[in-house]
Structure 1
C-alpha cells in the first residue's frame, strides 16, 4: 500500500479575550517551516500546513488512516484584527494564533521561526497590541 496524499480539514477553537481573538488548531506532525498563516483584508484567516515528506520505501505501509499534512482551513473572523501584530506558536501538534483586536483589519502573511524540531513561534507583539514589535 502506498501512502495517500489527503488535504485535511482542520477543526478549530476560536475564542476571545478582552484584547485578542485566539484560534487554536491541531496540525500534528509538522515542523515550523511547514506553516503559513495569512490574514486577508476581508477578515479571513487562512491556516495552511504543507505536506511533509512521504514515508520512504523502506516501510510496508499496512494501514493509512492519517497523515502529517497537508492541512488547510479558511475561516471568517467575527471582528477586525491586526495581522501584523499577531503572535503564532506551534507546539505539541497545535498551532495557536493570537490576533490583537483592532478597529480595522491589517492583513499579513506570517511564518514561524524554528525554536526546536517541532516547536516554532512568530512574535508580533509583547502582549501590548498598540505597541507592536514587527518580526
Structure 2
C-alpha cells in the first residue's frame, strides 16, 4: 500500500487562501488604506514622524501642519505592467497624524533619507518637562 503525503503538504497553502478570502476587506486591501506606513515616536524635546515613501518624488509630496495634526499628502507613480501580486501600491495617498501636544511650528524640519521621510516636530516650551527644585523650609 502506498500513501501519498504530498496532498498534506498542499493543505496549509489551501487553508491560507480560504482564510484570506474569508477575512478579505470589502473595501479592498487594508494596507492601501494606511499608506505610507509610518512610526510616531517622541523624546523630551521632539515628536518624530517617520514615513516610508520609497519611489515618491519630493515634488509629489506635501506636508501641512495645523494646530493639532500633520497632514502628509502625495502621489506615487503607478507602476506599469501586469502583476500577479502588488504590495507596493501606486496612486494618491493622504495621511493625517494627530499631534497630541503643541509644537514650535517655526522649527519643524523634514528630511528624506533612503526612502524614509523624517519629520521632526519640536515640542513647545510649555509642554516640555521641567525639574522643580524643592526648598527646605
Instruction: Count residues with an aligned counterpart.
Output: 94
Choose between structure 1 and 2: higher strand proportion: 1
Higher RCO (Cα < 8 Å, 6 or more apart): 1
Q: Judging changes above 3 Å, is the alpha-carbon distance between structure 1 residues 68 and 82 closer, same or farther for their aligned structure 2 residues?
A: farther
Asked whether 1:72 is paired with 2:73, we answer no
Q: 1:80 to 1:51 in 2, by over 3 A?
A: same
More helix by share: 2
Q: Does 1:92 align with 2:125?
A: no
Alignment of 1:16-95 (within 5 A): 16-41=42-67, 43-52=68-77, 55=80, 60-63=81-84, 65=86, 66-95=88-117
Q: Do the aligned partners of residues 8 and 64 (structure 1) sit closer, same or farther apart at CA in structure 2, a change above 3 Å counting?
A: farther
Q: TM-score, normalised by structure 2?
A: 0.58
Flag as ranges the 4+ runs of structure 1 deviating above 3 A: none
Shift of 1:103: 5.0
Question: How big is the shift at 1:18?
Answer: 2.1
Query: 3-state DSSP class of the match of 2:106?
Result: helix
Q: For structure 1, list consecutive stretches of 5 or more residues without a partner in the other structure.
A: 1-5, 105-135
- Write the deviation string for residues 70-125 of structure 1: whole angstroms up to 9, x where unpaired: 22210211111123321101121111100111158xxxxxxxxxxxxxxxxxxxxx
- After TM superposition, the score normalised by the length of structure 1 is 0.58
| Structure of greater Rg | 2
RMSD between aligned alpha carbons? Answer: 2.3
Partners of 2:92 and 2:38 in 1: CA distance = 16
